[in-house]
Amino acid sequence: MIRTEEVLLNVGPQHPSTHGVFRLVLTLDGEVITNAEPVIGYLHRGTEKIAENLQFTQIIPYTDRMDYVSAMTNNYVLVHAVETMMGIEIPERAEYLRVLAMELNRVASHLLWWGTYILDFGATSPLLYAFREREMILNLLNELSGARLTFNYMRVGGVKWDAPEGWLEKVRDFVPYMRKMLDGYHQLVSGNEIFLSRTKNVGTYTKEDALNYSLSGVNLRSTGVKWDLRKDEPYSIYDRFDFDVVTRDGGDAFARYECRLAEIEESLKIIEQAVEQFPEEGPIMAKVPKIIKPPKGEAFVRIEGSRGEIGCYIASDGKKEPYRLKFRRPSFYNLQILPKLLKGQNISNLISILGAIDIVLGEVDG
Amino acid sequence: MSGDKDLERLKKEAVAKAKAEAAAKRKAKELAAQGASEEAPADKSSGDTADDLAKKKAEAVAKAKAAAAAKRKAKELAAQGANEEAPADESSGDTADDLAKKKAEAVAKAKAAAAAKRKAKELAEQGASEEAPADESSGDTVDDLAKKKAAAVAKAKAAAAAKRKAKELAEQGASEEAPADESSGDTVDELAKKKAAAVAKAKAAAAAKRKAMGQAEGGDEGDDLAKKKAAAVAKAKAAAAAKKKAAEGGSGSGDDAKAKAIAAAKAKAAAAARAKAGKGAATEEPTEPKQPSPNQKYLDKYVEIIKKHLGEEVLEDSYINNLSKDVPTLVAKREAYYKIAEFLKFNESLGFDYLSEIHGSDFETHMEVYAHLYSYKNKQSVALKVKLDREQPEIESVARLWAGADWPECEAYDLLGIRFTGHPNLRRIMLGEEWIGYPLRKDYEPYDVEV
């Protein structure tokens, strides 16, 4: 007689493949996961509570620290919410700088994901390539904002700094370089047999599941839902650019991998066009009151972040601080489906499934 | 050797003494706290040490709450004081004397606020202790945890009640209407009111006296400085007024004060218009009829279908939220919230299959749950809101309709204390089950000062 019993396995909160402080309590039957219980909150800093005592400009640095891999989009969602409430019109030049910053950041975010995802499978060299290219973007953003990760770049009404001399040319040169590197990535990884066997038909879910679990971004598009807020609810000046919304039908980890790499290409398209259309002259800040006081009422806006739909809800009582500030954090929503995906899977697939969702714990915990 | 020993002994003695002193101090502190709240006898009668601890914890929570209330009240008072002062500033002749008087008034008000705050604290403690014995009488020693929690809740409630009282008191004290309001039946309230009023009056009198004295001894250096400052302020004000007048142009013939008022009003209106409509709107007439929102037809459709299928009485309100990209907004009645949510998802012509966001907010008068839904079929958004009772925030969970509501509802429960009935696994997702209080509530005070 073989004696069988369930084994409780604790993954994290400090575990390299969780990319942050995230804990999973797994119940195992042999090597098969029968139950998975995510435990989060290790990085909860109470951003929303802190913000209730801050002026809007003071809140912007806090948004940097939610999704710290893609801080520009977080910057944007806050200022966008305030601007929507106050009806502020943004100068052209500022809009282009914002779009360039956001798209560069999106590429950097996807690169980081690509490198670390492959690293999780045990291949170390792709990470080095990804970080080489990411470093160039961080340098560009550093020249623009003065920071490599927590940019604090956008302001209600525009951006803080104008592009330094020669910056646009550097961005223009980066696009073809990145395209070339992207080809290399595909040659290096995308056709690799080991990689394919670990991602194809792993962590599969349907379109219905994705909608039901409020998934967004690549996690949604990998099931065939053609939905991108940049295209479907255009904000800023995204309606001026010609780009595709990438979808795949597989709904598995490999589909999400393909989507992200293809999205880098689409972002490069936008960057290219934005550089072409970039206005020569013009202010980078709209005329806004010194102290920003959105009118009484509430607003909810959502934008397409690197990981999905970032939302920002502001309830204002006409004061300079928000009465209530709430962020819809895509990683927090996307992670919910994890227990469902893990049930019945072999434990070695855990890394592949979790990695493909692409979470940032700073965003999950808020 | 003996010297060493002596030293050791001395050290030991000193330590013992320090310990005893600390213990005595602690005891005194406790006694003081208990004495104020008349809790000492209740404490002794229970004799359960675990219970004692729980009580102390609960007390601390209640006190923190009371402190929060007092703080907020003081803030309000200050704001009130400032408000009251503002118009006076404009109408008065801007003399240094007036300024000093106003300062004295402000001081008096602040003192009154402090007194009221103290009172509020006492009240909170009293309230807490009044409810505590009732908890003790249950006598059940088995379920300690449940008891502790219940006690904490009871005390928090008492604190909240005390807070409300304190708020009223503060308002009355500030406006010096306390004597007129004395007909109310509550004796505790009356006493507090009287005291606050008396204190305010006494302080005001003292301040006035001080001011008079200061005027008499004009040679005082500090006073001179104050006077100079006041004069400078007055000058700056006069300059600002003159500037405003100049900007107005052609108003020189009219009454000075009137012209000033007009200029001020105009500047304010312009600022308000600018703030409201943003760039370029200042030139537009604010009375211009608003264009109906392009989403109005969707709102009308939603409301019509909902009313047709679920009855006329299910919606509290419905409007287009102009601040939020014209999103059609439905405010559901509490009882009908789940029904409406279900209908929004499954109705053929609505089909809101995606829950983009759900969260709660504390609006002090009530709690609110806000959900942003999206229909991928119709490419349309809708915001669904429901107002909840702040004392008993409870609502059906929509996690059965949209699985994506699972964690966000947990978050709202964790940070605001909104209970979602029928939720598959409602838990404190961020802070853990041990946490006391709900941080996103407006009257939250951290229980553990070290956090």
The two tokens of residue A11 are: 């993954």
Specify the pLDDT at position B152: 60
Parallel/antiparallel/unpaired status of strands B367-375 and B354-362: antiparallel
**Which candidate, B353, B357, B408, places its Cα nearest to that of A210?**
B353
Residue A137 has pLDDT above 50, yes or no: yes
Specify the pLDDT at position B445: 84
Specify the pLDDT at position B291: 72
Parallel/antiparallel/unpaired status of strands B367-375 and B380-388: antiparallel
The two tokens of residue B313 are: 């009485």
Instruction: Please answer yes or no on whether B430 and A293 come within 8 Å at the CB atom.
Output: no
Instruction: Judge whether A131 is closer than 8 Å to chain B, CB to CB.
Output: no
Task: Give the orientation angle of helix B96-136 with respect to helix B187-216, to 10 degrees.
Answer: 150
> Within 10 A of B259 (CB to CB), how many other CB atoms are there?
18
Contacts of B319 in chain A (CB under 8 A): none
Instruction: Judge whether A89 is closer than 8 Å to chain B, CB to CB.
Output: yes
**Residue in B281, B325, B361 closest to A315 by CB:** B361
As a whole-number percent, the residues of chain A with pLDDT over 90 amount to 90
Parallel/antiparallel/unpaired status of strands B394-396 and B419-421: parallel
The stretch A7-28 carries a mean pLDDT of: 86
Pinpoint the alpha helices (H) of chain A: 47-51, 56-64, 71-86, 92-120, 125-145, 167-185, 193-199, 207-212, 218-221, 229-232, 253-277, 330-334, 338-342, 349-357, 361-365
**Residue in A49, A299, A365 closest to B324 by CB:** A299
SS (H, E, C) A306-355: CCCEEEEEEEECCCCCCCEEEEECHHHHHHHHHHHHHCCCECCHHHHHHH
Contacts of B427 in chain A (CB under 8 A): none
Residue-wise pLDDT for A33-92, tens only, equals: 999 999 999 999 999 999 999 999 999 999 999 999 999 999 999 999 999 999 999 999
> For chain A, what is the mean pLDDT?
92
Contacts of A286 in chain B (CB under 8 A): 279
| Closest chain B residue by Cα to residue A300 | B324
- Rounded CA-CA distance B348/A239 in Å is 31
Instruction: Judge whether A55 is closer than 8 Å to chain B, CB to CB.
Output: no
Specify the pLDDT at position B181: 42
| Closest chain A residue by Cα to residue B359 | A326
Name which of A227, A235, A324 to mutate to probe chain B: the one with the most chain B Cβ atoms within 10 A of its Cβ: A324
Query: What kind and span of H or E run contains B276?
Result: helix B256-277
Specify the pLDDT at position B71: 64
Q: What was the ipTM of the complex prediction?
A: 0.92
What's CA A190's distance to the chain center, in Å? 22
- CB neighbour burial string for A238-259, b if at least 16 within 10 angstroms, e if fewer: beebebebbbbebbbbbbbbbb
Instruction: Please answer yes or no on whether B383 and A365 come within 8 Å at the CB atom.
Output: no
Parallel/antiparallel/unpaired status of strands B327-332 and B380-388: parallel
**Residue in B279, B323, B353 closest to A299 by CB:** B323
Do residues A332 and A363 touch, judged by C-beta distance below 8 A?
yes
The two tokens of residue A123 are: 């291949």
Half-sphere exposure of B366 (CA within 13 A, CB side): 10
- Rounded CA-CA distance B204/A101 in Å is 59
Residue-wise pLDDT for A90-129, tens only, equals: 999 999 999 999 999 999 999 999 999 999 998 999 999 9
| Closest chain A residue by Cα to residue B281 | A87
Query: What kind and span of H or E run contains B24?
Result: helix B2-37
> CA end-to-end span of chain A, whole Å?
49
Chain A closest CA to B271's CA: distance in Å? Answer: 9
The two tokens of residue A84 are: 């929507």
Name which of B72, B268, B274, B357 to mutate to probe chain A: the one with the most chain A Cβ atoms within 10 A of its Cβ: B357
pTM here is 0.68
DSSP secondary structure, B237-263, as one string: HHHHHHHHHHHH-S-TTS-HHHHHHHH
| Closest chain B residue by Cα to residue A90 | B279
Parallel/antiparallel/unpaired status of strands A7-11 and A23-29: antiparallel
Instruction: Judge whether A309 is closer than 8 Å to chain B, CB to CB.
Output: yes
Instruction: Judge whether A40 is closer than 8 Å to chain B, CB to CB.
Output: yes
Q: Which residue has the higher pLDDT, A363 or B227?
A: A363
- How many residue pairs bridge chain A and chain B with CB atoms within 8 Å of each other? 120
Contacts of A309 in chain B (CB under 8 A): 356
Instruction: Judge whether A298 is closer than 8 Å to chain B, CB to CB.
Output: yes
Do residues A67 and A362 touch, judged by C-beta distance below 8 A?
yes
| Closest chain A residue by Cα to residue B401 | A212
- Rounded CA-CA distance B112/B198 in Å is 9
Chain A closest CA to B308's CA: distance in Å? Answer: 27
What's the Cα-to-Cα distance from A184 to each of A172, A263, B21, B380, rounded to whole Å?
A: 20, 16, 74, 41
Contacts of A287 in chain B (CB under 8 A): 279
Instruction: Please answer yes or no on whether A88 and B327 come within 8 Å at the CB atom.
Output: no
Instruction: Judge whether A211 is closer than 8 Å to chain B, CB to CB.
Output: yes
Instruction: Please answer yes or no on whether B430 and A88 come within 8 Å at the CB atom.
Output: no
Specify the pLDDT at position B138: 44
**Residue in B276, B406, B432 closest to A41 by CB:** B432
The stretch A310-338 carries a mean pLDDT of: 94
| Closest chain B residue by Cα to residue A286 | B279
For Cα atoms B243, B248, B251, give the angle at the middle one, nearest 5 degrees.
105
Specify the pLDDT at position B30: 64
Contacts of A211 in chain B (CB under 8 A): 353-354, 376
What's CA A56's distance to the chain center, in Å? 22
Instruction: Judge whether A326 is closer than 8 Å to chain B, CB to CB.
Output: yes
Chain A closest CA to B374's CA: distance in Å? Answer: 10
What's the Cα-to-Cα distance from A34 to each of A25, A31, B128, rounded to whole Å?
A: 11, 9, 48
Residue with tokens 């509490």: B334
Contacts of A56 in chain B (CB under 8 A): none
Residue-wise pLDDT for A163-216, tens only, equals: 999 999 999 999 999 999 999 999 999 999 999 999 999 999 999 999 999 999
The series of mean pLDDT values per 10 residues for chain B, 451 residues long, is 61 69 67 51 46 63 66 62 46 50 59 60 54 44 57 60 63 48 46 56 57 47 51 54 47 45 52 47 48 85 90 88 90 92 91 93 93 92 93 92 94 94 92 90 81 56
Instruction: Judge whether A343 is closer than 8 Å to chain B, CB to CB.
Output: no
Instruction: Please answer yes or no on whether B404 and A212 come within 8 Å at the CB atom.
Output: yes
Instruction: Please answer yes or no on whether B408 and A332 come within 8 Å at the CB atom.
Output: yes
- Rounded CA-CA distance A47/A97 in Å is 27
**Which candidate, A237, A77, A57, places its Cα nearest to that of A156?**
A57
The two tokens of residue A130 are: 């990804």
